[in-house]
Amino acid sequence: MINKELFLALDALEKDSRISKEAMIESIEAGLASAYKKEYGVSCQISVRINEEKQTYRVFAHRLVVEEVENEEAEISLEDARDIDPKYNIGDVVIEDITPKDFSRIAAQTAKQVTMQRINDLKKEMVLSEMNKRTGEILSAIVRRKEANTVYVEITGTQMEGVMMPSDQIRGETYNVGDVIKVYIKKIRGNDHGAQVVVSRSSAGFVRRLFELEVPEIKAGLVKIENIAREAGFRTKISVKAEDPNVDAIGSCIGTKGVRINAIVAELGGFEKVDVIEYSDDPAEYIARSLSPATVLMVRTVADEMSARVIVPDDKLSLAIGRNGQNARLAAKLTGWKIDVKPNSFLMSAEEQYSDAE
């Protein structure tokens, strides 16, 4: 007999954990089967069936019908099987009711441990399934611990642990235990302990989602993000275009008095520069815009090689190239073109040499 309160508790647990009552009953059955095997030291297959209406449980032993018995606990001879039911044949499984009158205290504890472990596993599987659906989203998380340069967070509302590797952190940011931060759900990966949620603050996807959350026109589909190039902690370039000619793509992303772009920069740590560039189907125009904030005088493209030579004023060369080549590098990544930046004096010198040759 099973206590009536158990089923009432399962009803409450079903509402709180969103694990089906049927799944929890299966876990209890598995726990009782494990307890029986430990209590009586049997090696055959054991199954347990719970009858909720009658509030009872039955324990069954499964034995394979064979010609010659080698394991008496797991096998039964055809002759003995037909004594139970003449319909049995070789290869059939005989199921016998071996329900005990009661379990010992140790067996009951074993049943409880197995049941709780199965239910915890079900919770983890359910949360992982939900996290898989939320890959590519931004969620709040609490920093729980740091090991070397790796940060471990608890994703709010899920009790799920996320790992943020050094490459997924914004350079210059510090993370202290207890900090509440926003993280991008990058992927779910398998490991020796099951599965792990990989989160990021340095990925381009993090910036994309921030713009989608902060700019209503993007969420509504009026403005489209074409591409993003990012070096986290330093600079991001994002190209956008308006699907509606009456919508200002750049203005929508910047917001009144820069309120939208400032909110995004603040979430990125406050130091990362973000260049919002209007996309163009004309490669030369797109490349020129991508080198913002530098002024571009001329762009010559070689379509077959997807390469371009860009001419800028001499005093804007360092701005166009950027520190350690960062601005030009991000422009190339954003547009997909190889970009060679040259000063105007280089072009004038080349033209003079061509004139002298003539």
Instruction: Give the domain ranges of the chain.
Output: 4-131, 134-200, 282-358
pLDDT of residue 335: 97
Residues 6 or more apart whose Cβ sits within 8 Å of residue 112: 31
Residue 269 · residue 233 · CB < 8 Å: yes
Q: Which contacts of 114-118 are long-range, i.e. CB under 8 A and separated by 24 or more positions?
A: 114/27, 114/30, 114/31, 114/34, 114/35, 115/27, 115/28, 115/30, 115/31, 118/26, 118/27, 118/30, 118/31
The pTM of the full predicted model, rounded to 2 decimals, is: 0.69
Residues 6 or more apart whose Cβ sits within 8 Å of residue 58: 48, 49, 51, 97, 99
Neighbours of 121 (CB within 10 A): 12
4-131 — its CATH code?
A: 3.30.1480.10
Instruction: Write out pLDDT tens, residues 260-292.
Output: 999 999 999 898 999 999 999 999 999 999 999
CATH architecture of the domain 134-200 equals Beta Barrel (2.40)
pLDDT of residue 314: 93
Rounded Cα gap, residues 89 and 324, in angstroms? 80
What's the token pair of residue 119? 């239910």
pLDDT band at 161 (very low <50, low <70, confident <90, very high): confident
- Average pLDDT in the 127-141 region? 85
- Average pLDDT in the 235-249 region? 94
Q: Which of 136, 145, 190 is nearest to 164 (CA)?
A: 145
DSSP readout, 101-127?
S---HHHHHHHHHHHHHHHHHHHHHHH
Rounded Cα gap, residues 208 and 211, in angstroms? 5
pLDDT of residue 349: 59
User: 282-358 adopts what CATH topology?
Assistant: GMP Synthetase; Chain A, domain 3 (3.30.300)
pLDDT band at 352 (very low <50, low <70, confident <90, very high): very low
Instruction: Write out pLDDT tens, residues 185-203.
Output: 998 876 655 567 899 999 9
